[in-house]
Amino acid sequence: MTAPTETTPDAEWNAARVADILLTSERTQTPRTSINAQWPGLTLDVAYTAQDIALADRKAHGERVVGVKLGLTSRAKQKQMGVDVPSVAWLTDSMALPAGLPVPRSQLIHPRAEPEIAFVLGRDLRGPGVTAAQALAAVDRVLAAVEIIDSRYSGFKFTLADAVADNNSSGAYVTGPVALDPGELDLGMEACLLEVDGHVVASATGAAVLGHPAEALAFAANTFGARGHSLEAGWVVLTGGMTDAVAVEPGARVAAHFTSLGSITIAGG
């Protein structure tokens, strides 16, 4: 589908068209101008509807939901975007990157990596009204993760609604080798060093994620619950970047070293 121009009447835009445009951009690895720049009528409600329409298309193409992901969970990123709430999106099996494999550059536009704390749920979790303590009680195990984000927008320039419609810049993710019961570590104090080619470029603790990663999990359960969805047992929940994302250049090696959750190293491909 040819992308509309800035002069396209609002009446020709809707959530289904937004979903189709962004899926086409993703599947052809073609960056584009933000939707909001062309259609100011893109609201968060429309963006989340577009996200669900895109998920239905992914399922029709054989993908399977394996979890959810959060974005804008750090205060620094919220301030940068001029928002005060995170956002949520879907994870499918096609986004899971087996440990040891390089970043699939041929499938991505401009990949960036960010370290995250991931949860695997032991039971279903559904909002509204879920607290951080209740959310954490539903967790079976905690893992380190590195998410490879990949916006469909040129230069990673977008609004919050743009990002939501684009499934929170989903690309790929890899989880670490260490799995711990949530009671075995202090998630707020769990630290991470992010390295590129052996040089430390960023550091953070779990407290960077809404004060505690369990707060992110509760937010996800309540936000998806308001949309009629449950978080299911066995699903992976990526709680959001602990640090700013770094570009993954060809040939580069990006490593995330966690206090208790081990290390993850990925090659730029």
- Amino acid letter, residue 261: L
Share of the chain above pLDDT 70, in %: 94
pLDDT of residue 3: 41
pLDDT tens profile 150-195: 999 998 889 999 999 999 999 999 999 999 999 999 999 999 999 9
pLDDT tens profile 110-133: 999 999 999 999 999 999 999 999
Residue 80 — very low, low, confident or very high, per pLDDT cuts 50/70/90? Answer: low
Q: How far apart are the C-alpha atoms of 196 and 232, rounded to whole Å?
A: 34
Is the C-alpha dihedral spanning 66, 67, 68, 73 positive or negative?
Answer: negative
Residue 263 — very low, low, confident or very high, per pLDDT cuts 50/70/90? Answer: very high
pLDDT at 11 over 80: no
Residue 83 — very low, low, confident or very high, per pLDDT cuts 50/70/90? Answer: confident
pLDDT of residue 4: 40
Q: How far apart are the C-alpha atoms of 258 and 255, rounded to whole Å?
A: 10
Q: How far apart are the C-alpha atoms of 188 and 214, rounded to whole Å?
A: 9
Residue 77 — very low, low, confident or very high, per pLDDT cuts 50/70/90? Answer: confident
Fold of the 15-268 domain: Fumarylacetoacetate hydrolase; domain 2 (3.90.850)
Q: What are phi and psi of 248, to 5 degrees?
A: -105, 100
pLDDT at 2 over 50: no
Domain locations in the chain? 15-268
From edge to edge, which strands make up the β-sheet containing 199-205? 199-205, 191-196, 253-258, 263-267
Q: What is the mean pLDDT of the chain?
A: 93
CA atoms within a 13 Å half-sphere pointing along the CA-CB vector of 251: 0
pLDDT of residue 79: 72
How many other C-beta atoms can be found within 10 angstroms of the C-beta atom of residue 245?
20
